[in-house]
Amino acid sequence: MSGPTLGEFLQDAPKNWGRWGPDDELGCLNFLDAAEVVRGAAEIREGQVFTLGTPITHPTGDPAFPGLGRSGPKRTNSQDYGDYLSGAQETLPGGLEFADDVIELGTHSSTHFDALGHAWFDGACWNGYPPETTIGGMQKASVLPIAEHGVVGRGVVLDIARLKGKPHLERGEPFTHDDLLQAAERQGITIERRDVVLIRTGCLGHFYDVGPEEYLATPFLEAGLAYSDELVFWYQERELPVFATDTISGEYTDWETTGYVAPLHASLMRNLGVLFSEIMWLDDLAAACADDGRWTFFFAAAPLKIVEGTGALVNPLAIR
C-alpha cells in the first residue's frame, strides 16, 4: 500500500517543539512537576504496592519486538559454587563464597521507557534535533534526562480488555480514542490534566499463556491503539505526559492496511514529546482496581540512567 509520507500525513498535527526551549530533552515530562508529585501521593490509601515490570529471562520467553535486531535477554552465571568445587575460585579468608551473573539484553526487550529521540522522520527527532545526533549514541533526547528526572504523578489505568468483556484483546484487534473514553466512563473516573495513563489490553498475560512463537508469529500483528486526530489533540489538550501499555509495540501494528508504521510514535513521541513505556505488567493492578472500584494510584518510575541510551529498563511502582 502506498500513500503519503508521515510528514504529509501529520502536516497539520500539533507539536510541542520549542515549548520548553530549544535544548529541551524532557518533553511532556516537564508537566510532572512537584505539584503533580504531591497530587499523585494523595492517591495512596491502603499502602498496596504493585510492581509493573515484567520478569527478565522468564521461563516462557521474553517479549521483544520481532526484527529491528532485537532478541530476548540472556542471563548466565559468571561465578557460582561450581567454580569453588573445580578449584577455579578460592574461598575468601574467613570462608565467604559468592555467585555472580551477567545479563545481556536490549534496552527495549522488557518493560522500559523510550528516549524521546528514539524515533524520527523527515530528518528530525523530538524538538527538531537532527537524526545525526543518534549516531553511536544519543547526544540529544536520550533516556538519561528522563531517568534523572523520574516519572512521578497521579496514575490511572484504563482497562480496555474489561471494557470489551474479554481476558485480552485479539491478535490484530485495534481500539480507539473513543474506547479510552468509554473505559474511563465505565470505570467511573475522569482523566484529569497531567494524569499518567496506563492502558491495559491483557495481551501481555496472553503472551505468557501462549508463548513467544505464537504471539510473535510472522507477520507480527498485535492489538493496539489506533491513530486518530482526536486522540493526538486529546493528549495535547489534557497535557498527558505518558503513553504506557502492556503490549510490545504500544500501538496498532496492521501497517499493511494503514500504510503507516508507528504513527503514534511519530505524532505523540516525536511531535509532542509524550513519553512511551511498553511491555508494562498491568493485570494485577487492574484486578485490584476492579475489586474496589478505585482506578487511580500514585505512580513512580525511575528508568536506568543509561548515558546516550535509546531507552532504559524500568520496574514502575503503582501504590494505592
Q: CB neighbours (10 Å) of residue 242? A: 26
For residue 149, CA distances in Å to 27, 143, 192 come to: 12, 10, 22
Q: Tell me the CA end-to-end span of the chain in Å, nearest whole number.
A: 46
Three cell numbers, residue 168 = 485480552
Please give the model's pTM, rounded to 2 decimal places. Answer: 0.94
* CA angle (104, 108, 109) in 5-degree steps: 55
Distance CA 283, CA 209 (A): 13
User: Tens of pLDDT along the chain (320 residues)?
Assistant: 456 789 999 999 999 999 999 999 999 999 999 999 999 999 999 999 999 999 999 999 999 888 776 777 899 999 999 999 999 999 999 999 999 999 998 999 999 999 999 999 999 999 999 999 999 999 999 999 999 999 999 999 999 999 999 999 999 999 999 999 999 999 999 999 999 999 999 999 999 999 999 999 888 899 999 999 999 999 999 999 999 999 999 999 887 777 788 999 999 999 999 999 999 999 999 999 999 999 999 999 999 999 999 999 999 999 99
Distance CA 216, CA 156 (A): 28
Distance CA 318, CA 155 (A): 8
Q: Strand, helix or coil at 236? A: helix
Three cell numbers, residue 139 = 547526544
